[in-house]
Structures are given as C-alpha cells and as structure tokens.
C-alpha cells in the first residue's frame, strides 16, 4: 500500500517531534563532555537538515567546550555563527569566553569581551566578575582584582562562595595573606558563612607563606565551627610542618586525624610516609604503608613511588624492583619519577652500570623528560670517582639545567679539579645560565686554598662581568 502525501507530512512532523531541540542539546552536551567536538558539530548539521534548529543553549554548550579543550579563538568563531543563525549571544555565552580567556591568563581578551558584553546591553552577573577578578590575580594585578571585588559588593549583585574563594586565594598567592585573613574574619558581615573549601584555601595560603601557627589555629577553629576537616585540610598542614622540619608537630596532626576518625586518603598517607623516610624511620614508614593497604586504600602511582623511594633509601633495590611487577599487574604505568628514583637508588649503592642501563631503558621507552635522571647519574658517577666519565656524560646531554651545572662544579671541586670547575662555571655564566652561589664560592675558595689566589681574583672579576651582561 503506497503512502499518501498526508502520511509523509505526518511522518516528518513526528520525526521533528522526536528529534527536538532539547534532545539535540543533550546529545551535543554528551559529545562535548567526551571531547568529541567534531561529532557535536555534525549533530548540529544533521539537526538543521531534519528541521530541528539549534538555540542559544546549543551554541553556548559548544563554546564552553571549545574554550575548555581547544582555545578561545575557535570558541569566539562560534559567536559569528550564532549571529548568522539569527541567535543573539547572552551572558552565559560571554561568561564562557571570559572564563576561557582567564584560564590562559589572557587579560586583554578578558577585558575586551567584558566591554563587548556591556556594549551589547548585556548586564554582567557574578560569574562574569568572578572570571575577570580571577584573571587579574593570575596576571599579578591584585589591586585591579580588588576593584572588581568592590564593584560586586557595591552593586546589587550577590557575591557567591566562588567570589570569596577567588579573592582569598588570589590575595594569598600574591603575598597578601594578612588581607586574606582579614577578609575571612569579615565574611559574616557579607552574610556569608565559610565552608570547608574556604577554610582549606586560607589554610593552604597561610602554610605556603610559612605561617604555620596561624594555619594550625585555623585548623582548630574549623573543628569547632561544626565543619569536618577533610584529608586536604590535614594534609596541607602536615606538609607545611614537614617542610619546616617540624616533624613532631606533623606526626601529632596525623595522630589527631586518626584518633578523631576523620577520613583521609592515600595522599595523606604518602605525605606522612615520605616524612618518616626522611627522618630515617623506615620501619614505621613500612608499617604505615601496610596499614594503608589494610584500611582498604588502593595504592596509586604516588603511593608506589613513595614505597619505591623508601626501599631505595634502605638500599633494598630487590624489593624496589619487585614493586615494578606489582605496578604492572595493577594496571598502572611507571612515570619519569619512578625510574628516576630507581636510578638514584642504584647510584647510591654504587651500581653505576645498573643506573646507566636503567637510564638507557628509560630513553628506549620514550620518556620525554629524563633530565633529573641524568642529573642523578652525573652525581653518582662523581661520587664513585668517575669524574672524567661524568664529564663525557655531561657533554652528551641535550638538556641541562642549573642543578646540572651546579652539581658538576661542586663535584669537580671535591675532586680538587678547581681549574676545570672554574672553566665550566664561566662557560655556564657566559651562556646566561644561573648557577648556585655555593658552587661559585666553592671554586673561588678552592683556588685560594690551593695557592692560586691570582686565578681566584680573576675568576671573581669574570663572574661579576658575566652577571652584569646577563642578569
């Protein structure tokens, strides 16, 4: 039986009904989330062909994805397509673009987009201001960021949790921890109750500024506020304690964390295990690693690297290599840090041949960055008395950093090869590479102590000249 014209029209109408704009947007959002932007674009074309027209949500979803995965220029090109389709960009459109520019610290583009939005008669919302404020902080302009914050407060726009978090985080990162603390104390005046994320941001800022006492007081205050400190809170303060070599305080915080039954993750465990290894308390570190597994926390690469480092510190290379098999069975892939730990461990037990072999394996596996591993090998060769061989390896290295030069200069001085150290030092400084002051002093003191005071004086003058030319 043949279909009538009426039946065909009805079928098309039903098809359009089934493939609605809402369904189109859901499909596009799914493809964008999966980073398959080509398929998202193809769906728009297919939708138009079927008579399902995209709307502002369609294009905003696409713009947000381009900003996140491709770039701001590609994202902005979608705006022109919107206009051609007769769809006007809205505040959400510009918020995505401004956030994308802010992510890459493109301040001038942020300001241009903000101005363009105002010219189109679109009123910025709190997210527009948040992104602009964030970009000013990232660009090292805290005063301008503060002006944006004042605009939010003085206008009829209600600040969000993100507004205060950006402000506190930005002040801390730009060296204004006291101002961040003052803002935190005045949050209730803005009818805002700080949540756990806000506490964590300020505690992290205080720790990085070396204000451990203030961070610990805030941690105590957090417990009394009704909020439950999480793994990030405690781990941040613990890391600060260990970084300041206040191991006892760090251990006390970890004990407190366990006694109060707070939830903590593998990262917290690895922080304390790493500190115990540095303190030489490897048995306790090993026991804690076993407890971590018993508590049902799955080992990740950070955990494995910590354990491998611990075994290497103890000189137990066999146990370290056994872990490599376990890593492979667990479906993980060793990273540059894993191999570098092993190379350093081999050097420390004077197995230079094994270290070289492992470095060749690392290169064969296609790791892009093996500079740290090469630096470990250089140091190991020098300590094993193979200074000439270390110089050959040094010359063969494609990449070198300040540590490479500083380490080799120090080791040449230890071998009392002060003239070679002086020559390397000068070539480094003349090429504009910074080298540690301690390495420079070691060469000058070595020349003086060996009776080459005139050469030491000349070297000092050449160092000053090189610094004038390059710094």
| pLDDT tens digits along 364-389 | 887 766 788 888 888 888 888 888 98
Picking from 202, 229, 262, the residue at the C-terminal end of a domain is 262
305 vs 174 pLDDT, higher one? 174
* 202 in a structural domain: yes
Mention every residue, 6+ apart, whose C-beta is less than 8 A from residue 7.
none
Rounded to two decimals, the pTM is: 0.65
Which residues are CB-neighbours of 183 under 8 A, at least 6 positions away?
Answer: 164, 167, 168, 171
| 273 is a domain residue | no
> What integer pLDDT is reported at residue 8 of this predicted model?
40
Residue 201: is its pLDDT beyond 70? Answer: yes
Place of tokens 């910025």: 124
Mean pLDDT of all residues in the chain?
85
> What is the model's pLDDT at position 292?
77
Would residue 188 count as lying in a domain?
A: yes
What is the pLDDT at residue 5?
A: 43
**Cβ(410)–Cβ(439) below 8 Å:** yes
Range of the domain at 420: 415-470
Residue 77 within any structural domain of the chain: no
Our count of domains for the chain comes to 2
pLDDT classification of 19: cutoffs 50, 70, 90: low
What CATH number does the domain containing 217 carry?
1.25.40.10
Q: What is the 3-state composition of the chain as percent helix, strand, coil, each rounded to the nearest 5?
A: 75, 0, 25
What percentage of the chain carries pLDDT values higher than 70? 94
In a domain, 438, yes or no: yes
pLDDT for residue 11: 41
Is residue 176 situated within a structural domain? yes
* Assigned domain for 386 exists: no
Q: Are 403 and 375 in contact (CB under 8 A)?
A: yes
Q: Is residue 209 part of a domain?
A: yes
* Lowest mean per-residue pLDDT among 77-86, 155-164, 423-432: 423-432
Q: Whole-angstrom Cα distance, residue 330 to residue 434?
A: 42
pLDDT at 13 over 50: no
Q: So what's the pLDDT on residue 88? A: 93
The whole-number average pLDDT for the span 185-213 is 90
Q: How far apart (Å, rounded) are the C-alpha atoms in residues 409 and 420?
A: 8
Q: Render pLDDT for 306-330 as a digit per residue (tens, 0 to 9).
A: 778 877 877 788 888 888 887 877 7
Residue 22, pLDDT > 70, answer: yes
How many angstroms separate the CA atoms of 320 and 314, rounded?
10
User: Domain boundary residue among 262, 282, 310?
Assistant: 262
Instruction: Categorize the per-residue pLDDT at 301 as very low, low, confident or very high, splitting at 50, 70 and 90.
Output: confident
Pick the last residue of a domain from 227, 247, 262. Answer: 262
pLDDT over 60 (residue 129): yes
């Amino acid at each position: 039986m043949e279909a009538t014209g009426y039946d065909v029209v009805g079928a098309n109408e039903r098809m359009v009904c089934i493939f609605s704009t809402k369904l189109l947007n859901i499909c596009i959002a799914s493809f964008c989330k999966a980073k398959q932007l080509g398929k998202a674009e193809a769906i728009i074309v297919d939708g138009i062909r079927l008579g399902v027209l995209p709307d502002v949500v369609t294009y905003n979803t696409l713009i947000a994805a381009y900003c996140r995965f491709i770039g701001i220029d590609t994202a902005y090109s979608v705006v022109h397509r919107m206009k051609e389709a007769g769809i006007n960009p809205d505040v959400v459109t510009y918020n995505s673009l401004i956030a994308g520019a802010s992510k890459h610290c493109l301040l001038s583009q942020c300001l241009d987009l903000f101005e363009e939005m105002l010219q189109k008669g679109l009123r910025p919302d709190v997210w527009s201001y948040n992104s602009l404020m964030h970009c000013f902080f990232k660009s090292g302009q805290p005063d301008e960021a503060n002006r944006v914050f004042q605009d939010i407060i003085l206008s009829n726009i209600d600040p969000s949790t993100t507004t205060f978090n950006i402000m506190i985080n930005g002040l801390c990162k730009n060296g204004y921890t006291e101002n961040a603390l003052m803002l935190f104390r005045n949050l209730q005046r803005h009818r805002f109750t700080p949540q756990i994320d806000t506490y964590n941001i300020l505690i992290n800022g205080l720790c990085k500024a070396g204000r451990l006492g203030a961070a610990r007081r805030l941690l105590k205050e957090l417990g009394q506020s009704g909020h439950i400190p999480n793994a990030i809170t405690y781990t941040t303060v613990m890391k600060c304690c260990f970084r300041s070599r206040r191991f006892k305080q760090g251990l006390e915080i970890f004990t407190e964390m366990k006694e109060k039954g707070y939830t903590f993750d593998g990262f917290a465990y690895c922080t304390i295990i790493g500190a115990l290894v540095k303190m030489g308390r490897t048995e306790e570190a090993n026991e804690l690693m076993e407890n971590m597994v018993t508590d049902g926390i799955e080992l990740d690469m950070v955990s494995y690297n910590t354990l491998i480092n611990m075994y290497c510190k103890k000189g137990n290379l066999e146990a370290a290599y056994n872990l490599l098999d376990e890593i492979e069975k667990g479906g993980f892939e060793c990273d540059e840090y894993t191999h570098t730990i092993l190379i350093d461990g081999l050097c420390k037990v004077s197995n230079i041949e094994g270290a070289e072999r492992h470095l060749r394996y690392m290169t064969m596996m296609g790791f892009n960055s093996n500079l740290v591993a090469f630096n470990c090998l250089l140091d190991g060769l020098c300590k094993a008395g193979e200074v000439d061989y270390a110089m050959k390896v040094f010359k063969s290295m494609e990449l070198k950093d300040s540590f490479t030069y500083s380490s080799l200069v120090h080791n040449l001085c230890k071998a009392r090869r002060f003239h070679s150290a002086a020559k390397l030092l000068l070539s480094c400084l003349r090429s504009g590479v910074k080298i540690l002051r301690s390495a420079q002093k070691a060469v000058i003191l070595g020349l003086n102590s060996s009776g080459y005071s005139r050469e030491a004086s000349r070297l000092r003058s050449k160092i000053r000249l090189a610094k004038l030319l390059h710094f």
